[in-house]
Structure 1
Amino acid sequence: MPRTTVVESPGCPPLRALTTDILGLVKVVEARAKPAGAAKVVETWGAPDASRAIVAASLADRAADPVLAVARKNGVVELLNPLNGDALAAVKTVEQAPNDSDAEVDPLVALHLFTRQASDSILGTFIACTDKGKASIRSITKENASSSSDVRPSTTWDVCSGGNVQFCSVDHGESYAMFGGKGIEVNLWDITSYSKIWSAKSPRANSLGIFTRPWFTAGTFLCEDDHRKIVACTNNHQVRLYDTALQRRPAISVDFRESPIKAVAADPNGHDVYIGTGTGDLASFDMRTGLDSYLRIWDTNTRQLLSAVFLKQHLTAVVLDAYFSIEEPGETGSKELESSMEAEAEAEAEAEVRKEKKKKKSKIIAEDEDGAAGKEKKKKKSKTIAEDGDAAEAEVRNGKKKKKSKAINEDQTEVGVVDHNDSDGEMYARKERKKKKSRTIEEDEERDSDGEICSPKRRKSGESSKCLKKKSKKQQIA
């Protein structure tokens, strides 16, 4: 429901308006810059006469040679100069039935004066429609403008087979016309070929199964450059938006107050419409947004309705997530459950794979660390063995030196004890020294051979004791 407020009038901008009434008068209302905001009637054209009441009017608003057309109750269409009110032409389109006859009257109800001019000789061309749905197009030339003879229509056709036409609206390009009325669904015609191209379909029955009889009171084309979007208003206070390229039923239907809607006009912006009711209420609607609490998703290329969701409350805004991941929902609840279970299973499998990868990686790292530690231990062990072997060799050498020096000292002491003058004793001492020397040399050779067998570099635990045992045995034997 649109918001209604009461505000103080700030004044009216400069404008000029032409009004018609039931007495057949045309009044000119103007608002000038000084005094600001004061609109008043400046001129009145015609004499009051109820039989010549004006039922429809249309203005060919051109910079040069503008024309105002009015359709009167007696079936006459007059062309007037909108600048000074001079009558340019008068054409009788329908015959008025005599007062004493029972002939059915078919008055004019709709009129549109074409803005474009086919040639300079034509004063004006208009389309008119009667209450029973007889539409006609007539052109008035400047030659027969002053004559009182009837101008025959160039084309006449029936826009309905029953009901009462209440409005006619022509698009901005003046190639299509829309008709509607009481008992007549909105229908669209190509007035260049005089053929019907689209007709609306009644809305579905209400909750009680009751169909609403069509009763359209006003209509207009929403966009200047697109004749496929039309807005029609009903006597049941509804505003309906139709897309003739999409479907026959209304795309949007909005209720406004409780009074019949009598007039509708489109804004030049192409998405707003202004409506007026029989009780004087005015409202504007933005037809781009739905007021029926539906979210509708459309294909901009094919103009096809893809989906509609009822959201209960009136909507205020819609935003789209551009990074939404495309997922196909299951057709039933079981499929959705299966898909969710599959997703969980996949997630668990991925988690297991990650755990296995982490374990393998940690194992490889541990093995690398153990390998490095083993290498370090081996290096340290070989270094220790080499150091032990070097120490053992040094001890063996020191022992040899000590024994050699000891043997030399013993020889020197024995030489000192023997008398030098005693030749026999001297010979005996020399022999003893030779024996000791040879014995010492043999012991040294045996030690060297034992040292080569028990190398300190390859010596293991327990081998040193074996070598010592061998030495002791050999010493005993010697």
Structure 2
Amino acid sequence: MQEDERSPPVRLLYADELGQLKVVQTADGAQLGTAAVAASWGEPDKQQAIDCIALGSTGGVEDTATAVLAVARCSGAIELLSPLTGAPLGSIPPAAPAASGGSKQQQEDAVRVRGLHLIWGSDGAGNGSSSSGSSLPAVLSVTQSGTARVHTAAAAGQQPPDGGSAAPAAWEQQRSWQVPPQVCCTAYDPAIGRLAVGCEGAELRLFDAASGELVFTFKGGKPNKVGLVDKPWNTAIAFLPPTSTSSGGDGNGNAGNSGSRDAAGAAGTRLLVGTNYHKVRLYDSAAGKRPQMEMSWGEGRITALAVEPDGQRCWVGNGQGQLEVLDLGTRRFSGAIKGLAGSARALAVHPGGEVLASVCLDRYLRLHSCATRQLLAKVYCKTLPTGVAFCPTDASMLPPREQPAAGGEGVEERRRRKKDQKRERRRSHAAAEEAEEGSGDDGMAAAADQDSDDEQQIGSEEEAEEQQERRRPKRSKQHRSQGGGRRQQRRQ
């Protein structure tokens, strides 16, 4: 049997405002242009809209055994699913609602999840194996009102004796703490277990996910020439991978001298932040509380950030459909992607670093090359998106190759036969057209002969009339004058 040399397909999950998850998959890893919606999980229900999703595994994009998908609904409930089949793995109830005297908006803010992350490790600390023996990760969620919770699987689902799917696991809340209210975005660094929280009305803060303690509080940009400072409103956050060097700055976007500093290269110290005032900031907790870089970009608020695996570049999207890559080495925007319509709702970079996935309000999922910014695939998903994520895949997910049946013809033979049939049809059409042209020439010759006969007959008739005119006797001059006199008498 011939070995299959195809690479595993690219698989993405598209979350929407009707509570559905759409599976977009390619034929294989090389044919990205074949991307299409392969499946749709869930029934459309506006009351179960998806606010955010989190997808991960212990072994990266090729580890399908431990892959887990967490889905946060607008009701506050969190569902754990298998990203390969959509089978339920468990559910987490919503957070406690606000006091009964609160407004309807306060009631919604108390349960709606604005940050969702998966933590692999002991009791959700992110630094060891699970103490419960479960292969499921801990779930870290942050509500809009400022409640952070960590849940772990109490008991793994037992495999039923009939060989069916395992029963969903039960989940327990391990700890909970408060963060500033009006949460807009969060980010989690699994290397050291730090949670970054961006809010409206509060500056960026770092928390320890294992204990819930406040670790660091950043400050906003410096006042401008007239002494005005932007109100704190962070709308997108992304941790940068650790590096051996870090470049300083003067806080106004001017790069300083680069030097080797161990503290600057540590994980969880550098963050890229987008604000509601179309500004991009680079923070480094080892260098200080003020942003090390601040630059304005576009005219709309920053809605999404996606850092490439090497940490050298970051893709930035805003509320006006602009998408551009920021080179963190030169601190300049080095290339834009055209063709997007509507706000960029979510961005995701493939773990390999070659493909960028984006979803906008025009309901399209697009795949672009990170190196050339060329459009690789464009899939219409019909519903408004809320999130997108790359799913782990392996060779078992490839579609089967088309094999020739016993005693039948193969794919190449079928293609050759179809080409021959098309060629024969073209030849028959050409012969028929030539025959029609030949019959048309004979008819034209007959018509020309008939016209010549008619002309000869008309010419003979004209000659006969002329001869008859010559034979008529001519009237004399006297006869003509008499006729003219009689006409004159009648007039008088």
TM-score normalized with structure 1 length: 0.54
Q: Where does residue 10 of structure 2 map in the other structure?
A: 15
Tell me how far apart the structure 1 counterparts of residues 167 and 103 of structure 2 sit (CA, whole Å): 31
Q: 2:26 aligns with which of 31, 35, 44?
A: 31
2:47 match: secondary structure: helix
State the Cα distance separating 1:172 from its structure 2 match.
3.5
Distance of 2:42 and 2:119 partners within structure 1: 24
Aligned residue for 1:109? 114
Counterpart position of 1:222: 240
Q: Report if the CA contact (8 A) 1:60-1:114 is conserved.
A: no
Aligned to 2:147: 134
Q: Which of 45, 48, 52 is residue 52 of structure 1 equivalent to?
A: 48
Q: After superposing the two structures, state which structure 1 stretch, 191-200 or 28-37, moved more.
A: 28-37
Separation of aligned partners in 1, 2:323 and 2:218: 26
Task: Choose between structure 1 and 2: higher helix proportion.
Answer: 1
Counterpart of 1:283 in structure 2: which amino acid?
E
2:75/2:94 contact within 8 Å kept: no
8 Å contact from structure 1 (residues 222, 266) kept in 2:
yes
Q: Which structure is higher in RCO with an 8 Å CA cutoff and minimum separation 6?
A: 2
Please identify the structure whose Cα radius of gyration is greater. 1
CA 1:139/1:122 → structure 2, altered by over 3 Å: closer, same or farther? farther
2:154/2:170 contact within 8 Å kept: no
1:143 shift after superposition: 4.7
Looking at structure 2, the residues matched to 180 and 124 of structure 1 have their Cα atoms a distance apart, in angstroms, of 24
The residue that corresponds to 1:123 in the other structure is 136
Q: Are the aligned partners of 1:123 and 1:142 in contact in 2 as well (CA < 8 Å)?
A: no
Question: In structure 2, how many angstroms separate the alpha carbons of the residues matched to 1:83 and 1:44?
Answer: 12
For each residue in 1:123-163, what CA deviation from the matched residue of structure 2 results, as whole angstroms up to 9, or x when unmatched? Answer: 33111011111111110233579999984421111122xx4
Aligned pairs, number? 279
Alpha-carbon distance change, 222 to 58 in structure 1, aligned in 2, over 3 angstroms: same
Q: Counterpart amino acid of 2:177? A: W
1:101 Cα deviation from its structure 2 partner: 8.1
Secondary structure class of the residue paired with 2:237: strand
Closer/same/farther in 2, CA of residues 78 and 245 from structure 1, 3 Å limit:
same
Once the two structures are TM-superposed, the CA of residue 38 in structure 1 deviates from its matched residue by 2.3
Shift of 1:289: 2.4
2:192–2:267 CA contact under 8 A, matched in 1? no
**CA 1:17–1:98 in structure 2 vs 1: closer, same or farther (change >3 Å)?**
farther
Partner of 1:159: 179
For residues 96-116 of structure 1, give each alpha carbon's deviation from its aligned partner in whole angstroms, at most 9, with x where no partner exists. Answer: 689998463112211101244
What are the residue-to-residue correspondences of 1:59-138 with 2, within 5 Å? 59-62=55-58, 63=63, 64-95=65-96, 102=103, 104-105=106-107, 106=110, 107-116=112-121, 117-119=129-131, 120-121=133-134, 123-138=136-151
CA gap of 1:149–1:114, structure 2 versus 1, over 3 A, is: closer
Structure-1 separation of matches of 2:211 and 2:100: 38
Residues 60 and 290 (structure 1), Cα distance of their counterparts in 2 relative to 1, 3 Å cut: closer
> 1 CA distance for matches of 2:230 and 2:99?
37
Residues 133, 164 of structure 1: 8 Å contact kept = yes
CA contact (8 A) 1:114 1:174 kept: no
Q: What do residues 401-443 of structure 1 show as CA deviations (whole Å, max 9, x unaligned)?
A: xxxxxxxxxxxxxxxxxxxxxxxxxxxxxxxxxxxxxxxxxxx
Which residue number in structure 1 is paired with residue 302 of structure 2?
261
TM-score (norm 2): 0.52
Q: Which amino acid aligns with 1:282?
A: L
Alignment map for 1:68-467 (pairs within 5 Å): 68-95=69-96, 102=103, 104-105=106-107, 106=110, 107-116=112-121, 117-119=129-131, 120-121=133-134, 123-143=136-156, 151-160=171-180, 163-173=181-191, 175-224=193-242, 226-291=267-332
Q: Which runs of 5+ in 2 are unaligned?
A: 1-7, 122-128, 159-165, 243-265, 334-492
Aligned partner of residue 203 in structure 2, secondary structure: strand
Secondary structure at the aligned position of 1:283 is classed as strand
Shift of 1:201: 0.7
Give, in whole Å, the separation in 2 of the partners of 1:235 and 1:192. 30
- Residues in 2 aligned to 1:89 and 1:141: alpha-carbon distance in whole angstroms: 11
Runs of at least 4 residues off by over 4 Å: 95-103, 143-152
Equivalent residue number for residue 36 of structure 2: 40
Q: 8 Å contact 1:75–1:96 — kept in the other structure?
A: no
Distance 2:326 2:187 in 1: 19
> For residues 48 and 206 of structure 1, do their structure 2 counterparts lie closer, same or farther at Cα, with a shift above 3 Å needed?
same
Contact 1:122 1:142 (C-alpha < 8 Å) held by counterparts: no
Q: Which has the higher strand share?
A: 2
Q: Is the CA contact 2:314–2:328 (under 8 Å) kept in the aligned structure 1?
A: yes
Deviations 1:31-64 (A, max 9, x none): 2248651211101000111111111110123412
Q: Is the 8 A contact 2:240 2:271 kept in 1?
A: yes
* Residue pair 1:183, 1:213 contacting (<8 A) in 2 also: yes
Asked if structure 2 preserves the Cα contact closer than 8 Å seen for 1:74 and 1:96, the reply is no
Contact residue 153 and residue 169 of structure 2 kept, 8 A: no
Give the CA RMSD over aligned residues.
2.9
Q: Which amino acid aligns with 2:150?
A: I
- Secondary structure at 1:123 match in 2: coil
CA distance in 1, matches of 2:210, 2:204: 19
Q: CA deviation at 1:95?
A: 4.3
Gaps of 5+ in 1: 1-12, 293-478
User: How far does residue 78 in structure 1 lie from its aligned partner after superposition?
Assistant: 0.3
